[in-house]
Amino acid sequence: MCRERLDAWMAPQFLDAWPPSFAEPVRYPLFGGGKRIRPALTLGAYQSIYGYDTDPSPALPAAAAVEMIHTYSLVHDDLPALDNDDERRGRPTVHIAFGEPCAILVGDTLLTQAFSVLAQAPLSAEVRIELVAALSDAAGYRGMIGGQVADVGLGGPVETLDTLTRLHTLKTGALIEASTLMGALVAQAQPDQRRALRAYGASVGLAFQLADDLLDADEDAGEAGPPSFVKLLGPAATRSEAHRYADQAIAAASELPHPALLQALARYTVDRTV
Amino acid sequence: MCRERLDAWMAPQFLDAWPPSFAEPVRYPLFGGGKRIRPALTLGAYQSIYGYDTDPSPALPAAAAVEMIHTYSLVHDDLPALDNDDERRGRPTVHIAFGEPCAILVGDTLLTQAFSVLAQAPLSAEVRIELVAALSDAAGYRGMIGGQVADVGLGGPVETLDTLTRLHTLKTGALIEASTLMGALVAQAQPDQRRALRAYGASVGLAFQLADDLLDADEDAGEAGPPSFVKLLGPAATRSEAHRYADQAIAAASELPHPALLQALARYTVDRTV
């Protein structure tokens, strides 16, 4: 449901007056089979306040902006100078399919247009600027890029559970936490609801990353690769940590008027197989 | 005056809690001898409404954000996959000095933090979100990135004066126009003043680019290189076009209460030697 609504909303944003030669490489990663977990969290956070019979459309621009930021980060991460990945989601990465100059510009475009989408959302000026503040903070140096900087080794060694947890809290957790916070902002949630949603988002972010490490460990068995929770803790303890964080998220959500969808999403982040 | 005020304002934004290993490569292009024409236009537009005895501090966050967007675009433009430039402003480019992974992240950081600076400015929510809308529009696909896309050949051939003018209107003009518009937004200028400032910005943007082409032609004499106004029009006609646009800008500014600084800046864009 989330995917169809979101895709139907996003598609026209990237068709108007763009030459097909550039619209195609921008659409390629954005409509390329992502799980849409972040926008589902934004819409889920909105509905956790107002219930499931409420139309979540007011939260769609925020959900789209979060997904655009996530997508830009993947496109730039995959570049030869960074992770040098040839494949993502079973298809060639953007720089393999369309060339490296195009991939750099596609990432820059998605990052820029995410803020344009928020600026033009049919919401009050107060809510729109709160969304811009939340997203730029989560995507910036105190969030995602800070994690990237640590990941490429510019922030010192990543060897302990503390430094690894901090890296992932920044690289993945900050944007996931912002996804729920932005749903709360659109819903104009009360301060205690907002706190509950932030706590939920922080725990779900770590649960998600621990589960990702387990899935990657299955794929990369025997490879050297970067530090991971599985290497530091072993698979059994990583799995139990993931479930502990998911349980924390579920408990945090129980303070909200309509927690069921968010609780199901928390469970999904650790039970998923992709 | 503009440079000192702006640098004094921007510096602390990039020192708090950043590890030196990443703060340094971000500061390197941002405090690396740029002419600061765009922020001067933002502050000049603000003072064109209120006069030169007024403190232009309210426009500093907008001026900084514009310079950060301009700087990010240079850092990414210089990358090996795009213009592959080893030197800028007489120093090694960011990817030469700090490596390509770092240069990609420095650009992403400056782009992201520009919106963070606007979101946190001590201005009303209405003005802040108008600034985000203006900047994301100018930096995005309908502006600077659209010009970049055309420049790398993804938007079709650039062979005529019309297609070249369009490319530069997008690649350089949109952000220069936004620089003056953002000063007008901070000043909460009247609609006719805003129109005058946009007209001024559009003309100054083209004057600037024509003058740049003349300066580059002096440097690159005999090289093949990309299409340019000098190649299409010859140096004499390019110079006269540059002056025609500067005169248009000066005329547009004359409708403003305090036009002298903007008029001097328009004259400078075509008379400068660097």
Q: Could B119 and A136 be called an inter-chain contact, meaning their C-beta atoms sit closer than 8 Å?
A: yes
List, in sequence order, every residue forming a beta bridge with B67; answer none if it has no partner. none
Q: Is the ipTM reported for this complex over the cut 0.90?
A: yes
B100 CA to chain A: closest CA distance, Å? 6
With vertex at residue A142, the alpha carbon angle to CA B94 and CA A121, rounded to the nearest 5 degrees, is: 100
How many beta-carbon pairs below 8 A join chains A and B?
140
Report the run of H or E that residue B87 belongs to, with start and end.
strand B87-88
Helix (H) and strand (E) counts for chain B?
14, 2
Q: pTM above the 0.80 mark?
A: yes
Kindly indicate the confidence band of residue B161, based on its pLDDT and cuts at 50, 70 and 90.
confident
- Cβ within 8 Å, pair A108-B113: no
**A20: helix, strand or coil:** helix
A73 to chain B: closest CA residue: B108
Q: Which two tokens stand for residue A13?
A: 């944003």
- Point out the residue among A81, A104, A112 whose CB comes nearest to the CB of B140: A112
pLDDT reading at B15 higher than 70: no
For chain B, what is the mean pLDDT? 91
Question: Which 31-70 residues of chain A touch chain B by CB within 8 A?
Answer: none
Chain A residues with CB under 8 Å of B145 CB are 105, 108-109, 112
User: In the 8-state DSSP scheme, what is residue A173?
Assistant: I
**Which of A22, A111, A128 is opposite residue B154, by nearest beta carbon?**
A22
Architecture of domain B2-271: Orthogonal Bundle (1.10)
3-state secondary structure A127-138: HHHHHHHHHHHH
Q: What pLDDT score was predicted for residue A168? A: 86
Rounded Cα gap, residues B146 and A19, in angstroms: 10
Give the distance between the most distant pair of CA atoms in chain A: 52
Q: Touching check for B120 and chain A: CB below 8 Å?
A: yes
Tell me whether B132 touches chain A (CB under 8 Å).
Answer: yes
| Chain A partners within 8 Å of B152 (Cβ) | 101-102, 105
| Residue A155: both structure tokens together | 């922030």
Find the angle CA(B195)-CA(B198)-CA(B201) to the nearest 5 degrees.
150
- CB < 8 Å from B in window 234-273 of A: none
Residue among B82, B100, B118 minimizing CB distance to A101: B82
In chain B, which residues have their Cβ closer than 8 Å to the Cβ of A22?
141, 149, 154-155
Nearest one of A193, A198, A65 to A132, comparing CA atoms: A65
* pLDDT tens over chain A, length 274 residues: 577 888 888 877 765 667 788 889 999 999 988 889 999 999 999 999 999 999 999 999 999 999 999 999 999 999 999 999 999 989 999 999 999 999 999 999 999 999 999 999 999 999 999 999 999 999 998 899 999 888 887 777 777 888 888 888 888 899 999 999 999 999 999 999 999 999 999 999 999 999 988 988 766 555 556 778 888 899 999 999 999 999 999 999 999 999 999 999 999 999 988 7
Angle at A150 between CA A144 and CA A153, to 5 degrees: 145
Residue A16 has what pLDDT?
Answer: 63
The per-residue pLDDT for B222 is: 53
pLDDT at B93 over 90: yes
d(CA A33, CA A88): 10
pLDDT of residue A63: 97
Buried b (16+ CB within 10 A) or exposed e, A60-84: bbbbbbbbbbbbbbbbbbbbbbbbe
Q: Where are the domains of chain A?
A: 2-271
How far apart, in whole angstroms, are the C-alpha atoms of residue B114 and residue B119? 9
